[in-house]
Amino acid sequence: MDGLIYASWLFVVALGMTLVFGVLKILNIAHGSLYAVGAYAAASAVGLFATLGLAPAFSLLAMLLAAIAVALVLGPALERGLLRLFYGRDEVVLLLVTYALFLILEDAVKLVWGVNPYYVSEPYQLFGNVTIGPLFYVGYDLALIGLAIVCGIAVWFGLNRTVAGKIVLAVIHNHEMSASMGVNVNRVHWMAFTFGVFLAALGGAFTAPMISVQPGISVSVIIVSFAVVIIGGLGSIEGAAIGAIIVGLARAAAVHLMPEAELFSIYLVMAAVLIFRPEGLFQRAAARKI
């Protein structure tokens, strides 16, 4: 259960990263900073709703609205204002650009919210406690598993069962052919990136009640998110799900059995997978779907 809880929010974040890579072919290092912005925005939104005297249940709506606001503000601005200027360049250039963006966002977060930690306690108390055998869990933690399932199904259904999704898949497979058939590739790019930002911010927003929102949370998130997408295969939704579960279970096992090897266990699993599958577990499936 600990592994699945950890994997749930990690999957939501990694899903946005793998979607952006599938469409834009950008391995976005700044994804962790977008997660952090979502967490800070959610903390501010929950505090605002509390000052208005609204019921604690509205804090969930506040977190969702905060994630949407982050996506609508930063998504188009970053993709149209910066990333599109580097399309067609070497992958290393794009990697350096997103790293520079990561550093800029890290300092921007400190300028806006300061360096003191934020605590979001209201949503964490909404679902009470749940007993599973001899174990006790906070209901909010288990609710995150449901959120991850909903996000995964929604993205898969949107890509594979809707007209807009088919257009996105066409752009993924062949930019030039899609453009020649009348697809507005630029619009697909900024919409896909904005949705990726939304998933990162959503993961940060709904993780905020579980952690202390403070500078530095983006670094650990980007590390484990990279591990997830590399294990599952870059650009694969199924791979992101399986990768998140593997990383979550590996971390939970290490925490319970050998706490000093917590971070090392993730790299060990990643190395073991890459030895036998350098392209990731679901890379071949990615060529057929995403």
In percent, how much of the chain has pLDDT > 90? 56
Residue 243's CB is within 10 A of a number of other CB atoms, namely 31
pLDDT at residue 283 in the model: 63
- The whole-chain average pLDDT of the chain stands at 89
Dihedrals φ, ψ of 164, to 5°? -60, -40
Read off the pLDDT of residues 31-60 as tens digits, 9 standing for 90 and up: 999 999 999 999 999 999 888 888 888 999
What letter represents residue 45's amino acid?
Answer: A
| Two structure tokens written together for 59 | 């804090």
Give the position of tokens 């909010």: 140
Distance (Å, rounded) from C-alpha 98 to C-alpha 284?
Answer: 26
Contact (CB, 8 A) for 11 and 228: yes
**Over residues 189-204, mean pLDDT:** 95
Read off the pLDDT of residues 74-113 as tens digits, 9 standing for 90 and up: 999 999 999 999 888 888 898 999 999 999 999 999 999 9
Q: What pTM does this model have?
A: 0.92
Q: How far is CA 112 from the centre of its chain?
A: 22
Residue 211's CB is within 10 A of a number of other CB atoms, namely 15
| Two structure tokens written together for 174 | 């062949």
Read off the pLDDT of residues 105-135 as tens digits, 9 standing for 90 and up: 999 999 999 999 999 888 888 888 888 888 8
Give one DSSP letter per residue of the chain, joined into a string: -HHHHHHHHHHHHHHHHHHHHHHH----TTHHHHHHHHHHHHHHHHHHHHHTT--TTHHHHHHHHHHHHHHHHHHHHHHHHTGGGGTTS-HHHHHHHHHHHHHHHHHHHHHHH-SS-B---TGGGTT-EEEETTEEEEHHHHHHHHHHHHHHHHHHHHHHHSHHHHHHHHHHH-HHHHHHTT--HHHHHHHHHHHHHHHHHHHHHHHGGGS-B-TTHHHHHHHHHHHHHHHH-TT-HHHHHHHHHHHHHHHHHHHHH-GGGHHHHHHHHHHHHHHH-TT-TTHHHHHH--
- Residue count (the chain): 290
